[in-house]
Amino acid sequence: MKKDFLKGLRHSVPIAVGYFAVSFSFGILTAKYMKFGFSAVSSGILSLTNVTSAGQFAAVTAIVGGSGLVEMAILQFIINLRYALMGFSLNQKLPENMSLFQRSVIAFGNTDEIFAVAISDKYPLSFHYMLGLESLPIFGWTAGTVVGFLAGEILPKSVTTALGIALYGMLISIVMPVARQEKSVRTVVLISIALSCLFFYIPLLNVVNSGFAVVICTVLSSSFGAYFFPVKEEENEV
């Protein structure tokens, strides 16, 4: 148990560092809207209970814009729907005897980067490994938000803009090593990129909400990979 937890903790260090940097910029953003009720504490709680970059940034924009609870719920559902897809995939690597409570804890802390690291592991994932893999990034995400809020307007805009793209750079660094080794992963990634470009540049497609576009790209590219690059049963055996 301890060994698995420490292994997960070790694997999570790069993610935690990246999350601190990205959530730092989120904290700076919320500091600009103190008149809407944001504080260091409330911003930290928001990050601790959500752990989603796109969802949180969209939530702040919606709150400032005066959106209602129903609109907020629909927005978050669309943007974060991809986590349900990740959960289905991750669930296949969890032991059958794992309890519902343990699966729920893992689901709460499941993010794009944590999913990428977990799914690349060749062996079944233990609860303690996932606990270690998720704990430090969640702490980094929350702490970065609080520190960013306290920093406020001190840092120049060029620095906060650079921090805003840190998450994407971190995700690329996680995916690229696996894509270089596996043709299937490389193909699925290229298809995802192509589909994303279509949703960004094609006039009739670029009106689709970015969160929903991510879901469509994920479903289509992963379905292609599942059909043309099926994983044989013996490859899943330890």
User: Which of 138, 140, 69, 142 is CA-nearest to residue 107?
Assistant: 138
Weakest mean pLDDT among 8-12, 87-91, 146-150: 87-91
Distance CA 106, CA 91 (A): 10
Q: Which residue has the tokens 């989603």?
A: 52
| Mean pLDDT to the nearest integer, 3-27 | 90
Supply 126's token pair.
């233990």
Among 64-73, 100-109, 199-208, top mean pLDDT goes to 100-109
pLDDT at 78 over 80: no
What confidence tens digit (pLDDT) does each residue in 188-231 have?
999 989 999 999 999 989 888 666 777 788 788 888 988 888 86
Of the CA atoms within 13 Å of residue 117, those in its CB half-sphere come to 24
- What is this structure's pTM? 0.71
For the chain, how far is it from start to end, CA to CA, in angstroms?
18
More confident residue, 21 or 232: 21
Average confidence (pLDDT) over 176-183: 86
Q: Tell me the C-alpha to C-alpha distance, in Å, between residue 98 and each of 2, 30, 86, 105.
A: 17, 38, 18, 11
Q: Is the pLDDT of residue 44 over 90?
A: yes
| Separation of alpha carbons 55 and 22, rounded Å | 13
